């Protein structure tokens, strides 16, 4: 709904190719980015060059608002993972949107709350030494709002980057969980089962 509103009110979607960086750590926030199509991942990189995925954003989602709301520099890279069309809404217009559109304000609060919940859950999981528990919890969280039979559109590498584990470990754990019928695999994709 917000994408249609933006497009009908002078905003234009800009095309980004896979691999493009929207912003990087230390940059001053200038806009909030709404995804019309495509996918963007938000990552931090440690001193050894290992990526840790902070979030994956898809069509009809947005990113960049925490830094803008707090007027603090970005802490992560945002990298296009699938060719994307993105609408940038500058700071003044974003604040105007919050003030004038109550439903958008409530949606923003829910989005920020969900992200905070996810970060809290992942901090707890990263403190847990058991790799299998981390992977199970992460997959359960990612599948929770999906319909039965839907496939999780996340690679093993992305699961590894989100859980702080090596990709080989994640592959082994996912196969083990599938063998134990804890999760279902279909053509290599994790499928939501009946709960």
Q: List 77's β-bridge partners, or say none.
A: 43
pLDDT digits (tens, 9 = 90+) for 19-39: 999 999 999 999 999 999 999
Give domain limits for the chain.
Answer: 2-115, 129-192
Q: SS3 for 63-101, per residue?
A: ECHHHHHHCCCCCCEEEEEEEEEEEEEEHHHHHHHHHHC
Question: What is this structure's pTM?
Answer: 0.67
Distances (CA, A) of 37 to 83, 136, 171: 8, 29, 29
pLDDT digits (tens, 9 = 90+) for 42-84: 988 877 777 788 888 989 889 999 899 899 999 899 999 999 9
Residue that has been written with the tokens 């994408």 in this structure: 3
Contact assessment for residue 184 and residue 174, using Cβ atoms and an 8 Å cutoff: no
State what percent of residues in the chain have pLDDT above 90.
31
Domain with residues 129-192, CATH architecture = Orthogonal Bundle (1.10)
Please give the CATH number for the structural domain made up of 2-115: 2.60.120.10
Contact assessment for residue 190 and residue 152, using Cβ atoms and an 8 Å cutoff: yes
């Amino acid at each position: 709904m917000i994408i249609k509103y933006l497009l009908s009110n002078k905003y234009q979607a800009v095309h980004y190719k896979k691999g493009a960086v929207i912003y990087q750590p230390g940059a001053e926030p200038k806009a909030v980015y709404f995804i019309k199509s495509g996918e963007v991942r938000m990552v931090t990189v440690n001193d050894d060059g290992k990526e840790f995925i902070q979030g994956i954003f898809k069509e009809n989602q947005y990113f960049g608002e925490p830094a803008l709301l707090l007027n603090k520099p970005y802490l992560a890279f945002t990298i296009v993972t699938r060719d994307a069309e993105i609408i940038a809404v500058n700071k003044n217009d974003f604040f105007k949107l919050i003030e004038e559109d109550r439903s958008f304000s409530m949606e923003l609060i829910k989005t920020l709350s969900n992200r905070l919940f996810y970060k809290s859950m992942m901090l707890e999981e990263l403190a847990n030494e058991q790799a299998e528990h981390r992977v199970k919890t992460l997959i359960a969280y990612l599948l929770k709002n999906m319909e039965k039979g839907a496939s999780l559109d996340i690679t093993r590498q992305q699961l590894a980057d989100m859980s702080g584990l090596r990709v080989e470990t994640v592959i082994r754990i996912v196969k083990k969980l599938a063998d134990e019928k804890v999760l279902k695999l279909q053509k290599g994709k994790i499928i939501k089962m009946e709960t």
